[in-house]
Amino acid sequence: MAHYLDNLAGRVVVLGLSGGVDSAVAAILLKDAGATVHALHMTNWDDDDGYCTAAADLQDARAVCERLDIPLHHVNFAREYRERVFEHFLGEYRRGRTPNPDVLCNREIKFGEFRRHAARLGGELLATGHYARTATIDGEPALLKAVDAGKDQSYFLHAVAADALAQTVFPLGDLRKTDVRRLAHEHGLPVHDKKDSTGICFIGERPFREFLSRFVTAEPGPIRTPDGREVGTHAGLVHYTPGQRQGLAIGGRRDARDAPWYVVGKDVPNNVLIVDQGDSPLLYSDTLLAEDATWIGAAPAGLADGLRLCAKVRYRQPDQACTVLGTGGGRVRVRFDAPQRAVAPGQYVVFYDGERCLGGATIAETRRVPGEPPDRHHALSA
C-alpha cells in the first residue's frame, strides 16, 4: 500500500468517482486503508445529444457505490465548466492554436469546485483515480510521476495548486493498470472491464470537426507550400494542427514529389495553411516561448539565470532535456538539447526534475531549426 494511505483510518475522504474502473479501484484502496469514503460524481457537460456518456457514467458510479456500500453524492458543474474551461478552449481555437482543456478542467473544476464542494460534505481530504503521486519535499507539497510510466497523468495535473495537492490522495500512484484491472475483477466491480475513456466528455465519440464547427466559424482558404505554391483548399484553420497528415485532401501532383504532406504552419491573418512534404525541417523547433507559467509552489530557484530541467510538450512524450529561462511576467523560454517535432502553440510544456513535476506553461510560439531535418534518433516526439 502506498505510504500516503497509511494514516487514513477514520478520516473522511471525498473521492471523485467517474464511473470508470480507476476511480472505482481507488475507492477500494481507500476503504481498505480505513478511510470513511464518500463518493462524489461530477457532471461537467449537460448537452444530451447522444455522444456524451455522462448519464451512463452516473449509473455505473451508482452500481459501484452499491457494491462497495459507499454513499454517493452528485453535483452539476456544467455552468462552471463552460465558463472556465470551454470558453477558453474555444478562444484558443479562434486564435489558431491547439488547446488542451484537460489541464484547465483539473485546476478549475476537479481541484477547484470539486474541492470546495468536498469541504461542504465534511471531507478532510479529496481523492481521484489519477495516476500520479504526492509527497512532501522540504516541507512543501510536491507532485510526482506515477509508477506506471505509460499511465502517468502528472502532465495534466501540473497546474493544480500546491495547497490543493496537500489535501489530495492519489491511491493509484503506485499501481500499474494491470493491477487496477485485476483488483476490480477480484472485488466483483461491475466496471472491471469497462473501456478507458479517451478525450473529453463534451466531444465523446462524435466527429470533432462537426462539433467544433457548431461554436467556431471555420473559413475555408488556400493551402500553400512554404514557397507560396497553392496546392489545395483547407476547411478552416481551426481544424488543423502542426504535424497533421490526415484530412489535407492533397492528391498526387505532377509538380510535387511522391511523399506525404504535413501541416508545418499557419498564417492566421491571411487564413493560409502551410504544408510541406516528408520530414520537412519546418516541422522541427529547438526553442519555444511559453506564457502563463504556473508552478507547484514557488518558482524554482535559478529560473532567472537559466535552469537545467526536463520537459514534455505532449502527453506520454519521453522527458526531453532542456534549459528553461524565466523572462518575466509568467513567460519562459525553453531551449531543447534535441530538436522537437510538431510542437503546437496552445498545448502545454510541462517541466520535471527527475520524478518531480514542477509546473508548466502554455506554448505561445516556436523557433525553427535551420538546415536539414535532424536525425530521428535525436528528435523524439512520441
**Per-residue pLDDT reduced to its tens digit, 133-161:** 999 999 999 999 999 999 999 999 999 99
Spatial distance between the Cα atoms of 208 and 216, rounded to a whole number of angstroms: 12
Domain with CATH 2.30.30.280 in the chain: 217-278
**C-alpha triplet 319, 160, 177: angle, nearest 5°:** 55
Residue type, 355: E
List beta partners, residue 234: 221
Spatial distance between the Cα atoms of 36 and 71, rounded to a whole number of angstroms: 10
- Write b or e for each residue in 38-68: b if 16 or more Cβ atoms lie within 10 A of its Cβ, otherwise e: bbbbbbbbbeeeeebbbeebbebbbbbbebb
Spatial distance between the Cα atoms of 141 and 4, rounded to a whole number of angstroms: 12
Residue 334 has pLDDT above 70, yes or no: yes
Decide if 201 is catalytic: yes
Q: How are the residues of the chain apportioned to helix, strand and coil, as percentages rounded to the nearest 5?
A: 25, 30, 45
How would you classify the pairing of strands 12-16 and 125-127?
A: parallel
For residues 243 and 275, the answer to whether their CB atoms sit within 8 Å is: no
User: In terms of CATH, what superfamily is 7-186?
Assistant: HUPs (3.40.50.620)
Average pLDDT, integer, range 175-184: 95
Task: Kindly report the pTM of this predicted structure.
Answer: 0.92
More confidently predicted of 188 and 381: 188
Average pLDDT score over the chain: 91
For residues 152 and 145, the answer to whether their CB atoms sit within 8 Å is: yes
Report helix, strand or coil for 360.
Answer: strand
What pLDDT, on the 0 to 100 scale, is given for residue 202?
65
Residue type, 182: R
Decide if 52 is catalytic: no
Residue type, 366: T
Q: 102-111, 193-202, 227-236: which has the minimum mean pLDDT?
A: 193-202
Residue type, 377: H
Catalytic residue among 201, 310, 322, 357: 201
CATH number, domain 217-278, options 2.30.30.280, 3.30.465.10, 1.20.1200.10, 3.40.1530.20: 2.30.30.280
Domain with CATH 2.40.30.10 in the chain: 282-378
Residue 378 has pLDDT above 50, yes or no: no
What pLDDT, on the 0 to 100 scale, is given for residue 211?
87
Catalytic residue among 52, 105, 310, 322: 105
Spatial distance between the Cα atoms of 295 and 359, rounded to a whole number of angstroms: 4
Contact partners, residue 332, CB within 8 Å, separation at least 6: 289, 290, 293, 303, 324, 325, 326, 349, 361
Domain with CATH 3.40.50.620 in the chain: 7-186
For residues 149 and 355, the answer to whether their CB atoms sit within 8 Å is: no
Q: What are phi and psi of 252, to 5 degrees?
A: -60, 135
Spatial distance between the Cα atoms of 292 and 231, rounded to a whole number of angstroms: 37
What pLDDT, on the 0 to 100 scale, is given for residue 56?
84
CATH class belonging to 282-378? mainly beta
Give the count of alpha carbons within 13 A of 129, CB side only.
24
